[in-house]
Amino acid sequence: MSEAKSVGPRPYHHGDLTRALVDAARRLLESEGPSALSLRAVAREAGVSPAAPYHHFKDKAELLDAIANEGWDILGTQMAAAKAATTGMQQLTALGIAYVCFARDNPALYRVMYDAARDKDEMPEEDSAYCMVRDTMIENGADPEQDRHLELAGVAAWCGAHGLAEMASFKQFDHLKAELGGERPFFEAVLNHMGLFPKPHQDC
């Protein structure tokens, strides 16, 4: 039974309605998938009138964008915690593992995040999870003046982690997980074998 159906709508009484609507949308998203999302369904889940969401979101696309923004914030927090728990170049591997674990634990939210990001005209802002990878490379010796090199290295790192997130649950890898001692060591070994991260002051 889905979470939304098992606990029922959670009526909104006071406070931040935008927050309540995003929370309701995430519950529906994780329990029933993006196709179940509509402003009317979210209003019902939040326990408000069908018209209430339109005071905060002009349409479903704007609601999904708000959900995606929250997802990126959560991912950034988890990646920052992973980075803080290690040192040196292992910080980059830790960032990748945090990314893959987030995608594994939040599959529907992860899809919405990438659907929303695909058509953006600009790269994420300076304090984003995306920029954390670049900044960590610089902190560990990459030349901050080599903008193109850093951007390409960052894209490579994100593509590598994204690919691993997409394939991490493949049963074909179960023997490797068993041999390496579990899922996390498997993630670490794969990321380390990709050779994604630049050596200090390496030019393109």
Per-residue pLDDT, 169? 93
Q: Among residues 45, 97, 34, 101, which one has the least CA distance to residue 67?
A: 34
pTM for the model stands at: 0.82
Per-residue pLDDT, 15? 60
Domain map of the chain by residue range?
3-57, 65-194
Per-residue pLDDT, 129? 87
Residues 29 and 106: their CA atoms lie apart, in Å, by 10
Q: Under CATH, to which class is 65-194 assigned?
A: mainly alpha
Q: Is 3-57 in CATH node 3.40.50.300?
A: no
Q: Is 31 exposed, middle or buried (0-12, 13-18, 19+ CB in 10 A)?
A: middle
Per-block average pLDDT, block size 10, for the chain (204 residues)? Answer: 43 70 92 87 93 91 91 94 93 95 93 84 73 91 89 90 94 96 95 72 43
Let me know if the fold of 3-57 is the same as that of 65-194: no
In this structure, the dihedral spanned by the alpha carbons of residues 101, 150, 153 and 140, taken in order and rounded to 10 degrees, is: -60
Per-residue pLDDT, 30? 87
CB atoms closer than 10 angstroms to residue 155:
15
Per-residue pLDDT, 116? 83
